[in-house]
Amino acid sequence: MPLHPSDLLSSTYQSLRRNTLRSVLTTLGMFMGVAAVTATLHARSISQAVIAAELAKRDAPQALVGVAWVPRRERIALKAEEVEYLRSRLPGLKAIAAVNWVGSTNALFQGAEADPEVLAVSKDFLATDGYELTLGRSFTEADYRNFHPVVIIDQFLVERLFRGKNPLGQRIYAKRRPFTVVGVMPTKERKSEPKGLILIPLAIYSAITADQTVDTIQVRPQELRNLETLGNQASQLLKQNRPGREMWDFTNAKDILEQQKTLDLASQGLTVVAVISLLVGGVGIANVMIASVTERTPEIGLRRAIGATRGDVMLQFILEAASLSLVGGIVALTTVHGLTLVVADTFKLPYEFEVSTGAIALGSALLVGIGAGLPPALRASRLDPVKALHAE
């Protein structure tokens, strides 16, 4: 009759305890493999967090496309409507906007003044540049359609002009014209000292200047790795739309892209090492299980003779392999987590343990351990009880 689960577990424990040194060495092999896997996952997680933190300080990754100046050739300017032309033709696009750089201007509010930069933007600029408003609202379709004199300002300008007052609904003067503040956005990190930033609807700027052209079109990809490709595609499409036009394109996160490529290569290298380490650990478990089957052949015959089924025998050897893997995996996961905490604290790196990391590490350990122990377990279950009892 089949063994009771408690008897099966007890038998597994006694078997592993009987060969303590061999069990410890086998567990050590699996420890190295799982440690390599866990370290790889932690390194990838930390690198992604570092890149995300760096991106949060600056404008969202985007490609800027503009018309190049060519001597003795007519400059064919961009039009705001070409935003929609690109939107329907660019795969992997997250957001797109047209922008005119108005320049620095004098901004006034009740005696306080500043010299911020002014950008005239289309309605999706905030999504394209990665801004999230801290107060108020973004520009609406009605603002563009009805030429509302509204602005969004950054936090630096709020502190410089309003000095603790609520800026929403207040009227400021920029370029000697009145504008109503409807939103506040954070001040992004710049290489130079901040001066403040004002956004105005592109429709208002075009109406004031009677200029329907735009300086640049900004495109933001769904995936960072597609940034350069998206910029090149936008440039080529705009050239096709107006034959004879020469374009330039620029990405604002080239350093981040290079950093990510380096980290991806390092991660791939670590992954190869982790896989090899796991396979070595699996080979160690397979060798131990094969040796164990050979040594315990008479024991297997005796157990079969007193009623143990083939399934009992196979399950015990699989449990032994799984136990060695699981113990090695848990110790490796705990050790690498502790070391990662120390390194992250020392170098001020963003680190938070992820449940998925633990699941992948322990899952890979069990998968390799059970896979390595299955052939010896099948061999043990197929032994003839009579021949096994007479084996020396």
Could you read off the pLDDT of 130-146 as tens digits, one per residue?
A: 888 999 999 999 999 99
Could you read off the pLDDT of 261-311 as tens digits, one per residue?
A: 887 788 888 888 888 888 888 898 998 888 888 888 888 888 788 777 888
Percent of the chain with pLDDT over 70: 95
Taking residues 99-127, report their average pLDDT: 94
What is the pLDDT at residue 264?
79
Q: How far apart are CA 114 and CA 107, in angstroms?
A: 5
Burial of 223 (0-12, 13-18, 19+ CB in 10 A): exposed
Higher pLDDT, residue 178 or 191: 178
Percent of the chain with pLDDT over 90: 49
Query: Quick check: 140 and 189 in contact, CB under 8 A?
Result: no
* Chain centroid offset of residue 178 CA: 43
Confidence band, pLDDT 50/70/90 cuts, at residue 392: low
Residue 375 has pLDDT above 70, yes or no: yes
Using alpha carbons, list the distances in angstroms from residue 264 to 34, 267, 268, 313, 364. Answer: 20, 5, 6, 45, 21
Tokens of 365: 């350990």
Q: How far apart are CA 132 and CA 127, in angstroms?
A: 8
Q: How far apart are CA 81 and CA 38, in angstroms?
A: 50
Could you read off the pLDDT of 317-369 as tens digits, one per residue?
A: 899 899 999 999 999 999 999 999 999 999 888 898 999 999 999 999 999 99
Residue 1 has pLDDT above 50, yes or no: no
Confidence band, pLDDT 50/70/90 cuts, at residue 391: low
Give whichever of 8-22, 63-77, 223-237, 262-276 has the largest mean pLDDT. 223-237
Residue 82: how many other CB atoms lie within 10 Å: 20
What is the pLDDT at residue 17?
78
Which of these, 200, 349, 376, 364, lies nearest to 287 by C-alpha position? 376
Q: Please name every residue paired with 255 in a beta bridge, in sequence order, or none if there are none.
A: none
Tokens of 286: 């397979």
Helix spans in the chain (H): 5-18, 20-56, 82-87, 125-129, 141-145, 155-161, 202-209, 227-241, 254-295, 297-305, 310-347, 355-381, 385-389
What is the pLDDT at residue 75?
80
Residue 235 has pLDDT above 90, yes or no: yes
What is the pLDDT at residue 293?
86
Q: Kindly report the average pLDDT of the chain as a whole number.
A: 88
pTM of the shown model: 0.69
Q: CB neighbours of 244 closer than 8 A, spacing ≥ 6? A: 73, 74, 76
